[in-house]
Every structure is written in C-alpha cells, then in structure tokens.
Structure 1
C-alpha cells in the first residue's frame, strides 16, 4: 500500500481515511467490520457515508453467526472479535450509539459505546519496570491479519512507516503510527525515535493543523509491546493545552506533574532521566512542543470503577466513559482525584 503520503491536508487525510474504511468493509470477517463500525461511530460524516453498507454487512454477519452457532459450528476469526460482534448483535444495529462529548469544568468527557467492548490485551496487566523484550509470539503489528488494517505504508521523512487504523478509536482520525515495523522494537522510546517523532510533528503539522502524536510508555497503559505512537488530528486543543494551566503560563495547577518542552534535546534529557529511574510516562507531541507526564505504573494503584485506566488521552484531560450514567454524572472533582492517584 505504498502510495503518496496522505498528510498534505485534512481533506486528503480524511478522504484516504474514509476510502480505507470502505475498502475494509468489503473484506470478509468480523474483525474488519468491528473496526469500520467503531471508526464510523466516532465521526458523523463517515457514519452517514457508510451507514447503509454497515447495516447490510451487519445483517449478513448476524445471519452467519446465528446459522453457525445453531448448527454447533465454530465461528471463524479471532475469539476476541467473535465476542465483540456477539455483543453488538445483542444490542442490535440501531442500538449501537455514536460517540458523544461534553465538558465538566476543564475536562473533556466522551461516551464511547463501541470501545466499551474492546479486549484488554496487556493494558490491564500489572507490570514491573519500564520495558520488556519484544515477544514475537505475543500480539504485535507483524501479525499477517493486521495487514488489511493498514491505512498507509511507505517512506516518511527517512523511515519506513505504517499507519494502521485504531480498531477502537477515541480521538479524531485516530491511527497507530508504527516506524520500522520489521525491526521488532519493543515499546521503549529511544533518542532517535524521539527526535524523529518530534520532527514529524513539526513537519506534518504545517499541513494538518490540530495534529498530535502521543506515546504510552510500557506500564502507562500501552496495549502493545511493539514500538508505536498514536496519531490524531483534532479541531480543538486537548484540555492539557489550555492557557489556564500553570505549565502553560496560567494560574491553575494541573492535578498531575506535567513538564512542557519546546526543545527536543531538553525533552529527551528529561525522558532519559525517567528511564534511569524506571518511571513510566505518557507523552503528547505537538508541533514544536511536548507534554510529558510521569506517573505510577498500571497495577500499582487501584483505579476507579468508571475507568479502565488512564493512558495519554486521560492524562491530557480527556476521559473515556463506557456507560451513559458515568458519562452524565462524572464531575471534575472525581477526575482530579483519579489523576492524583497517579502522582509519583
């Protein structure tokens, strides 16, 4: 899928994003359908384009599942995908709700219905240290069945890069940016890849206002131990970027330690210290700017029942909820208290 990089403008990227989903929807299998439906639920424009085809495909897959299970036969595909689709069948096509947003104080909340059914993988496992060796037998981006989920692949500013769809997105135009996939690097940031992503955010950001590239370190709710970054393009800044916060020159103190850097070298010096101290962290790269949040590792504190754990989006002030009651009742105090649990 080596074509011209779709990063020159928002219009080009969105067209490539939508076309790729249309292509995926024609593929057989439950996993492709789940990815397309989850991404369509996050964007009303995409949903309107795909709704008729989604409904038709949903009916066909539902009929296949009922027939196979009635006959005592195994469903094809990964068990995770089978379970997710059976949950969607239980809800019914019209019952699958689009992602909704609201604000509570300085915080952004979203009700993400489809993401509630996402398999946990390694993101719920307690971890020790800030890295572990790459495991070719574990879940990683070299799996052949993931090739169909690649939105774009090719050379990008000197590295071989793949941009995969996020199967359960929680950000606009959400993708997984995987550099040098075949090198099998674990989820441990190096100086070279730090500098690369810093420059990538600066260069691509000129054509894509609102572009951000995020990173969850090992132990900070990275769900895959294969070097990757999270790509998104927002129409409005993340809550962590607001001028009211002390780290941006404002008067309010953020609930968690947030270091902000305008120099790639200074940022790496700080990250290297976190590595030496074996401290997990989350990063948000914006053009010419980096937000770094050090935090307790997953499994080393008890998170509230309304969250599956705080990764980069949550630490940046965006809270994903999976039930409508939590979405409607969660307030700023509860969010700030949860962030406080992560202080190192």
Structure 2
C-alpha cells in the first residue's frame, strides 16, 4: 500500500495506490496552470506516427529553455551536493511525496520543469538519501510495483543511467503518460536463458527484455542484469511499459526493457534529438519543425544504430552464466 502526502501540510491525502495516477494528473495540471515553475508550457504538441512504428512529437522549447545538463564523466560518478539536485527544487515543483507502508523512506514526485510531454514528471526514490543516478534494488522494486498497481497502459517509467544522457546525478526515474502505443511494447523477442529475452533483429538497436505480471517477482532477475552492466561500466537506458506477453497467450504484461549502449560521456549537446530512453523506445521528441516534417524511418534508425554497443552478442553469452 502507498500513502501519499501533501507537499506542504505533510498530511495524508491518499492511501490507495489505484489513485496514484489520477492524483498526479490533477496536481500536475494545477501546477502547470497556476505556478510559474515550468520553463515552458506544454500545449497541444504536434505529433505524427511514422510508418506505424515511430512516434514523433514537436517540442522546440525543450532545446532552448531547459536547464543545461550536468557534466557526466563516469557511470558511477559520486553524488555531489554542491551541484544541482532534487532536494534544491522549490516547493511548487513537488506534486506529492509518498511512503510505502512499513518503509521509512520518503519518495517524491516532482514536475519536470522541462517536460517532454504533458504530465512528464520525475520520481525521486528516497530523495533525502541523496543517492547518485544508479538504480538500486529498492528503487527498482518501487517502480515495478507502481507499474503493476496502477494498471494503466498509458503509464511508462523510464531511466537514463549516467553516460546514457542522464541530466542530473541524483537518483530519479521519468514518469510518462502517453496514449500512443509504442512499437517496443509488442516487438518480437527471443529467449536468451531463463527470464532473460532480447529483441529479434527487426529492431535497429538490441535490448534485453523481461516480462513482469501480477504474482510474478522478477526484480531480482532484472537487478542481476543492471548490476552486471554497472560492474562492466556499460551505460544503459531502461523503459517499463505494458505490452504483449512474449510466450504463451497474449495477455498484457509489464515489459522491462534494458538497452546497453555506447557511452555519451560529457554533457548533452543540443542536436535534432538525443538518443536516450524515449528515443530507444521509438518515441522521438523533435526540437526543429523542419526535422519534424522531414525525418524518415531510415534517418531515425541510422541514429539509433550509432549507439548500439559492439559486443552485444558476447554480452548475451556472458549473461547466460548468471541465469
């Protein structure tokens, strides 16, 4: 059970996990319309679906008005309290805080002041522990539980590791609400071993895939992979979304997708788009109207392939020893 607290009064305002998403939407809308915390407003984004495969959304303000990203040089770079972190945000940016029953940590949900799309928010697990941008088993379980409890296919949870276009070195996940289906939700997968699957060759950049469903505990399995990537200093992006079950019947499950990728060491550079978790999922926020109109499937896939690690098949063989 989740207990949600008002950010100012600290009073309990909701203790039903099924209300998590409606409350987030309501409070996000209120902040968006009344507070002056967003660097730009999200109003009727243009979007187009390219070849029934890739979602493009025109968001020119994100390139010019967002906070300049932090310089990142190491996938395990320590947290630095002197740099910007999410304990320094204004009260107006806090949508709500919440705790899990029997857990003492406070988790915060914040508006993303430079949103990709409507309702784009940040989940900061154990915010006051000031953890670096490295997935912990506890935060992974929290996000998987949220995906299972909300039972809403529009919710996606994303994560960018350091050196994979993470902007802030303070543990956070991205909360997205998007009505359009993404190609990766139903992309064909092949078994590697045990619970570990991978995309087949039809997708331009390889990813690992786990499926999680009610009554299934896969957090330990997923964390084995993530911890191995950290040990090998392999940058990665993670997307949690609902999609078809890989084997057996076609019932809906939560897919946890993990892309090992080439490092993006250094600060982000403003280009037509950066390849982070959204883009790897087939969802492209585009900054320039001309690019938005003219980009084709070949352009997108060529850019995705640039970030494919060279030794993916070797990595698969190494992982077989862990499962």
Instruction: After TM superposition, give the deviation of residue 130 of structure 1 in Å.
Output: 1.0
How far apart, CA to CA, are the structure 2 residues paired with 1:335 and 1:237? Answer: 18
Secondary structure of 2:123's counterpart equals strand
Matched, 1:38 2:41: yes
Secondary structure of 2:99's counterpart equals strand
Q: What does 1:303-342 align with in structure 2 at a 5 Å threshold?
A: 305-307=271-273, 309-342=274-307
Higher helix content, 1 or 2: 1
Instruction: After TM superposition, give the deviation of residue 246 of structure 1 in Å.
Output: 4.2
Matched, 1:298 2:264: yes
**Structure 1 match to 2:320:** none
Quickly say closer, same or farther: Cα 1:8–1:17, change in 2 above 3 A.
Answer: farther
Check whether the contact 2:199–2:209 (CA below 8 A) recurs between aligned residues.
no
Instruction: After TM superposition, give the deviation of residue 285 of structure 1 in Å.
Output: 1.9
How far apart, CA to CA, are the structure 2 residues paired with 1:104 and 1:337? Answer: 15
Check whether the contact 2:182–2:283 (CA below 8 A) recurs between aligned residues.
yes
How far apart, CA to CA, are the structure 1 residues paired with 2:138 and 2:119? Answer: 26
How far apart, CA to CA, are the structure 2 residues paired with 1:165 and 1:252? Answer: 37
Matched, 1:265 2:220: yes
Structure 1 gap ranges (5+): 26-31, 42-97
Q: What does 1:28-177 align with in structure 2 at a 5 Å threshold?
A: 32=37, 34-35=38-39, 37-39=40-42, 41=43, 98-105=44-51, 106-119=53-66, 121-122=68-69, 125=71, 127-143=72-88, 145-156=89-100, 158=103, 159-177=105-123
How far apart, CA to CA, are the structure 1 residues paired with 2:32 and 2:225? Answer: 39
Quickly say closer, same or farther: Cα 1:318–1:17, change in 2 above 3 A.
Answer: same
**Structure 1 match to 2:158:** 214
Instruction: After TM superposition, give the deviation of residue 224 of structure 1 in Å.
Output: 0.6
Instruction: After TM superposition, give the deviation of residue 239 of structure 1 in Å.
Output: 2.8
Of structures 1 and 2, the larger Rg is shown by 1
Q: What does 1:177-256 align with in structure 2 at a 5 Å threshold?
A: 177-203=123-149, 205-206=150-151, 208-243=152-187, 245-246=188-189, 253-256=202-205
TM-score, with structure 1 as normaliser: 0.71
Q: Deviations over 1:206-226 (max 9, x none)?
A: 2x3322211111111111100
Quickly say closer, same or farther: Cα 1:188–1:163, change in 2 above 3 A.
Answer: same
Check whether the contact 2:56–2:286 (CA below 8 A) recurs between aligned residues.
yes
Quickly say closer, same or farther: Cα 1:22–1:319, change in 2 above 3 A.
Answer: closer
Structure 2 gap ranges (5+): 1-6, 191-196, 212-217, 243-253, 310-323
How far apart, CA to CA, are the structure 2 residues paired with 1:277 and 1:249? Answer: 19
Name which of 4, 13, 20 aligns with 1:4.
13
TM-score, with structure 2 as normaliser: 0.75
How far apart, CA to CA, are the structure 1 residues paired with 2:186 and 2:123? Answer: 26
How far apart, CA to CA, are the structure 2 residues paired with 1:168 and 1:120? Answer: 8
Instruction: After TM superposition, give the deviation of residue 120 of structure 1 in Å.
Output: 5.4
Check whether the contact 1:246–1:254 (CA below 8 A) recurs between aligned residues.
no
How many residues end up aligned between the 2 structures?
Answer: 271
Check whether the contact 1:173–1:233 (CA below 8 A) recurs between aligned residues.
yes
Matched, 1:17 2:17: no
Instruction: After TM superposition, give the deviation of residue 167 of structure 1 in Å.
Output: 1.0
Check whether the contact 2:67–2:114 (CA below 8 A) recurs between aligned residues.
no
Q: Deviations over 1:304-332 (max 9, x none)?
A: 9422x211111111111111100000011
How far apart, CA to CA, are the structure 1 residues paired with 2:198 and 2:165? Answer: 29
Check whether the contact 2:198–2:209 (CA below 8 A) recurs between aligned residues.
no
Quickly say closer, same or farther: Cα 1:148–1:250, change in 2 above 3 A.
Answer: closer
How far apart, CA to CA, are the structure 1 residues paired with 2:205 and 2:270? Answer: 17
